[in-house]
Structure 1
Amino acid sequence: MTSAAEVYLQEHEEELLRAYFDLLRIPSVSALPQHQDDVRRAAEWVAERLRHIGVPHVELLPTERNPVVYGEWLVDPAKPTALLYGHYDVQPPDPLDLWETPPFEPTVRNGRVYARGASDDKGNLFAALCGVEALVRTQGKPPINLKFFFEGEEEIGSPSLAPVIEAHRQKLACDFVISADGGMYDYDLPSVTLSSKGLCACEVVLRTAATDLHSGQYGAAVPNAVQSLVQLAATFHTPEGKVAIAGFYDKVRELTPEERAEIAAVPFNEQQLLERVGAKALWGEPGYSPLERMWARPTLDLNGIWGGFQGEGVKTVTPCEAHVKITCRLVPDQDPEEILDLIERHVTTHCPPWAEVSVKRFPGSARPFAVRRDHPALLTAKQVLRELYGKEPLAERTGGTVPVAELFQRLLGADMIFFAWGMPDNRVHAPNESYRLEDFRMMARAYTRYLEALAR
């Protein structure tokens, strides 16, 4: 049966989409200093949208970088209190020449909205707010107590969040968190997310001489920094794909037979994945399925490697310096700082004797997160998905990192329930990011049902 709130969403869709497109037009790229004012403008836009919905208390919580949009609507002390999380910042749109239409001018083609942030996370964030708005317009208030927490630094690792959460623990106190950042396993395959990976990052810098040298005069005698770094980088993995850093797996919580069976029950087609990403074969740690590796095993990725001459044509130099950037996705019970210690020890041990090496650690580390399977808000999410799709939701994990999930869990004692409609082919973080209008509608509708179900 269609509720009054769902009818409201249908009748006001054009108006709601106009507002969604207005948000997408703001280039709130948190990684680029030249967009600092745009990030602030997006925060103010979201705050104003909360006021438009009717949220009684809205404010911007300052941080060292970008403000948190906070809102509060307490309707009944006997009702549960949920904190709705999302982020209004987006990734850089580069490379621009690969976009079919401008990244900050939303365009609808074949039932999809194309724009940077269309899915991650402006589309998901705004669809959740549409669900709240529909309930408020038809019932006068939300069915449970709601707090809103929308950050502007998720795409740079949420570096300001721990201090702001600690400073406002009492204000942010809640029974659980609902994340409007995340997604479903696939179209017509609803899912609940049980865990997300942690993250740490560093850059390894290797030097072999005081300056670049003439390769004809010195190349046969003086070590080459690029060659030396490649030699070092090759020691990070075994040929089969296992991370070869001593101690890397020591604290990894092994999958139980039940967990492996749960992952195996998820439909997975290796050939479809290869076609989707344009790869010839899969690769990774032996002894685990692709889904187990992506969802529940730690990784070490070389994200960029450079040194010497990078321009067109030829420059005959023997480089004196080379760099490699590394990120690790972590699983329970790995600690980001301990993993960086292990990397530093490894590069010191395996560095060629003719070179010097150093490790630069990047901020934004995050611990892995997991929610218990019997959490009432998780069970309620499964119930709502079962009603909407007419099938049992899958239990999935994400190989990505949502730093705030573990922070809320550790600092507020509040577990996060992922309830969002990003899809695998939305091309988030890539050119031509998109969001199906059908998924936008489904998410808004689902939020009306989810909040009602939580109240019951």
Structure 2
Amino acid sequence: MDYGRVHEAVAKSWNEDVLPSLSGLVEIPALSAAFDADWERNGHLRTAVDHVRDWIASRGLPGARCEVVQSDGRAPLLLVDVPATPGTTARGTVLLYGHLDKQPPLGDWSDGLGPWRAVVRDGRLYGRGAVDDGYSGYAAVTALTAIQAAGGEHARTVLLLETGEESGSPDLPWYLEHLSDRLGEVSLVVCLDGGGGDYERLWLTESLRGAVQATVTVRVLETSVHSGVASGIVPSSFRVMRLLLDRLEDSATGEITIPEMNVPIPEESRARAEALAALEPGAAARRYPLVDGMRAVSDDDVELILNNTWRPTLSVIGAAGLPDPAVAGAVLRASTSLRLSFRTPPTADAEAARAALVRILTTEVPYGAQVEVGDFLVLNGWQAPAAAPWLAAALEEIGDRVFDEPCRGFGIGGGIPFMEMLGRRYPDAQFVVTGALGTDSNMHVPDEWLNLAFAEQVTEAVAHILDAHARD
């Protein structure tokens, strides 16, 4: 493969073809189903799928078939099947993955920016879904066209773009089963829903945490009453909630005390954390916009990295039953609800953790208050297999030719449902989880942006990997 032509083809496509269409995708308010109860009637997810399908169909990939797959009540999925380049030895199927659904706007965006407004500024494309991860399908197809333009090879490749990832991919298991015969024997999975700590090198995700989310409601009264009349007699639902939270988390340290959510940290993962910490001392905390005077939970970079990748954590991400302070009256409220989001280690059993959570919260409840635990989201984590020799060699070449910096592996504190599903289904496949996300890309929050130059480099790296896989 002519690597110079790959570079030229990728740059030309991003500037002339990808950016206009990706900007159009940003402007589609394709909220994931969890954030849009009327998603099917509103049709934004289907509009996003059709938009990307039409662009891919215009690329002229020989023999490529684009198909929208949708079953009743399930979010649509775009399947693109590209045959192997002529003469390529049978290497099974390469599965390229991304998603087109988006998080909600979540707050006020900066002047001149908006969630559904594509703005290019200082080498960045701003807008919801630009980096998480609407760009992924464009990068995958551009990599394939660049390979063919440069005389390279690729195995049969299937691009799968779902529209439910931000909702926990509830429909994906059904689609994988439904399409299993058509996917064939998958030998390589490339996921572009990842990223890393900087824009200087290709980052490879070596582990993902799982998740257990649940809504917990503590009810102490049939109806709310005047606090002056009832306080001291009826315990506050918030105080009961605090007592229950103390069963789950040490509030002084943040340590999660649920045994099912804790696992031993592998020595190799600790060694990688030490290497990552040494790469940029202090970066583990410096990347985040802490308020003046605020400090991270530890001064030890290695412990911060392990906290974020191999230890369970709890975030309270929502609440109900609490009025706005400006209109809060002297009321002892009937109930308090909190949305709890646990991140669990890569090898923890998320279902066992969910069952333990319910048991702990509903056993011997203080004062006999009523406790309801429901609306679960349960996701297992994932750990990447060791890189095969061909992949290790390709990654070394990418570090030399594309980035001038060696590739780095690290763990991610979030989760990608698809990886755990595919890891179980294709235990012998190689996995490359990478992408254009940076810790400052503002995914899920206002002012989300995509580093366009870095996205081009990621695209070029994917082309190298696919060519190396076909030649192995």
Fold agreement, TM-score > 0.5: yes
Which of 450, 453, 461 is 1:435 aligned to?
Answer: 450
Q: How is 1:94-133 mapped onto 2 (pairs within 5 angstroms)?
A: 94-98=106-110, 100-133=112-145
Structure 1 residue 367, shift from structure 2 partner: 1.2
Q: Identify if the C-alpha distance between structure 1 residues 107 and 91 changes in structure 2 by more than 3 Å, giving closer, same or farther.
A: same
The corresponding residue for 1:401 is: 415
Structure 1 residue 440, shift from structure 2 partner: 2.1
Which of 354, 364, 383 is 1:370 aligned to?
Answer: 383
Tell me the secondary structure at the aligned position of residue 353 of structure 1: helix
Which of 332, 342, 347 is 1:333 aligned to?
Answer: 347
2:260–2:352 Cα contact (<8 Å) kept: no
Distance 2:354 2:222 in 1: 27
Tell me the secondary structure at the aligned position of residue 359 of structure 1: strand
The corresponding residue for 1:294 is: 308
Structure 1 residue 138, shift from structure 2 partner: 5.2
2:106–2:444 Cα contact (<8 Å) kept: no
Q: How is 1:41-52 mapped onto 2 (pairs within 5 angstroms)?
A: 41-52=47-58
Structure 1 residue 186, shift from structure 2 partner: 1.1
Amino acid at match of 2:4: S
The corresponding residue for 2:37 is: 33
Residues 188-212 of structure 1: CA deviation (Å, up to 9, x unaligned)? 1432221111112111111111110
Tell me the secondary structure at the aligned position of residue 259 of structure 1: helix
Structure 1 residue 444, shift from structure 2 partner: 2.4
Distance 1:358 1:99 in 2: 42
Does residue 7 (structure 1) correspond to residue 8 (structure 2)? The answer is yes
Task: Give the root-mean-square deviation of aligned CA atoms.
Answer: 2.5
Tell me the secondary structure at the aligned position of residue 98 of structure 2: strand
Q: Identify if the C-alpha distance between structure 1 residues 381 and 157 changes in structure 2 by more than 3 Å, giving closer, same or farther.
A: farther
Q: Identify if the C-alpha distance between structure 1 residues 430 and 165 changes in structure 2 by more than 3 Å, giving closer, same or farther.
A: same
Identity of aligned residues (%): 24
Tell me the secondary structure at the aligned position of residue 357 of structure 2: helix
Amino acid at match of 1:395: G
The corresponding residue for 2:77 is: 68
Q: Identify if the C-alpha distance between structure 1 residues 407 and 275 changes in structure 2 by more than 3 Å, giving closer, same or farther.
A: closer
Structure 1 residue 394, shift from structure 2 partner: 1.9
Residues 152-209 of structure 1: CA deviation (Å, up to 9, x unaligned)? 0001100001111122212122112111111133121432221111112111111111
Amino acid at match of 1:385: I
Distance 2:180 2:89 in 1: 18
Tell me the secondary structure at the aligned position of residue 198 of structure 2: coil
Does residue 214 (structure 1) correspond to residue 226 (structure 2)? The answer is yes
Which of 17, 21, 24 is 1:22 aligned to?
Answer: 24
1:384–1:453 Cα contact (<8 Å) kept: no
Choose 58-67 or 380-389, whichever is displaced more.
380-389
Distance 2:386 2:153 in 1: 26
Distance 1:399 1:445 in 2: 26
With normalisation by structure 1, the TM-score equals 0.91
The corresponding residue for 1:263 is: 273
Tell me the secondary structure at the aligned position of residue 439 of structure 1: helix
1:242–1:285 Cα contact (<8 Å) kept: no
Distance 1:385 1:278 in 2: 35
Q: Identify if the C-alpha distance between structure 1 residues 352 and 281 changes in structure 2 by more than 3 Å, giving closer, same or farther.
A: same
Which of 423, 438, 446 is 2:461 aligned to?
Answer: 446
Q: How is 1:87-166 mapped onto 2 (pairs within 5 angstroms)?
A: 87-98=99-110, 100-137=112-149, 139=151, 143-166=154-177
Q: Identify if the C-alpha distance between structure 1 residues 181 and 377 changes in structure 2 by more than 3 Å, giving closer, same or farther.
A: farther
Residues 235-254 of structure 1: CA deviation (Å, up to 9, x unaligned)? 321222211235432xx143
Unmatched 5+ residue regions in structure 1? Answer: none
Unmatched 5+ residue regions in structure 2? Answer: none
2:249–2:255 Cα contact (<8 Å) kept: yes
Distance 1:377 1:47 in 2: 32
Q: Identify if the C-alpha distance between structure 1 residues 395 and 292 changes in structure 2 by more than 3 Å, giving closer, same or farther.
A: same
1:113–1:436 Cα contact (<8 Å) kept: yes
1:27–1:35 Cα contact (<8 Å) kept: no
2:92–2:156 Cα contact (<8 Å) kept: yes
Distance 1:285 1:335 in 2: 30
Which of 372, 375, 392 is 1:379 aligned to?
Answer: 392
Distance 1:73 1:304 in 2: 43
1:68–1:150 Cα contact (<8 Å) kept: yes
Distance 2:260 2:55 in 1: 49
1:226–1:308 Cα contact (<8 Å) kept: no
Structure 1 residue 337, shift from structure 2 partner: 1.4
Structure 1 residue 142, shift from structure 2 partner: 5.5
Q: Identify if the C-alpha distance between structure 1 residues 381 and 88 changes in structure 2 by more than 3 Å, giving closer, same or farther.
A: farther
2:273–2:302 Cα contact (<8 Å) kept: no
The corresponding residue for 1:316 is: 330
Choose 48-57 or 113-122, whichever is displaced more.
48-57
Choose 4-13 or 43-52, whichever is displaced more.
4-13
Residues 38-71 of structure 1: CA deviation (Å, up to 9, x unaligned)? 1111111222233222252221222442111112
Q: Identify if the C-alpha distance between structure 1 residues 137 and 274 changes in structure 2 by more than 3 Å, giving closer, same or farther.
A: closer
Distance 1:190 1:138 in 2: 22
1:183–1:419 Cα contact (<8 Å) kept: yes
With normalisation by structure 2, the TM-score equals 0.88
The corresponding residue for 1:418 is: 433
Amino acid at match of 1:28: A
Structure 1 residue 454, shift from structure 2 partner: 2.1
Distance 2:111 2:367 in 1: 46
Q: Identify if the C-alpha distance between structure 1 residues 4 and 326 changes in structure 2 by more than 3 Å, giving closer, same or farther.
A: same
Q: Identify if the C-alpha distance between structure 1 residues 436 and 332 changes in structure 2 by more than 3 Å, giving closer, same or farther.
A: closer
Choose 427-436 or 35-44, whichever is displaced more.
35-44
1:309–1:317 Cα contact (<8 Å) kept: no
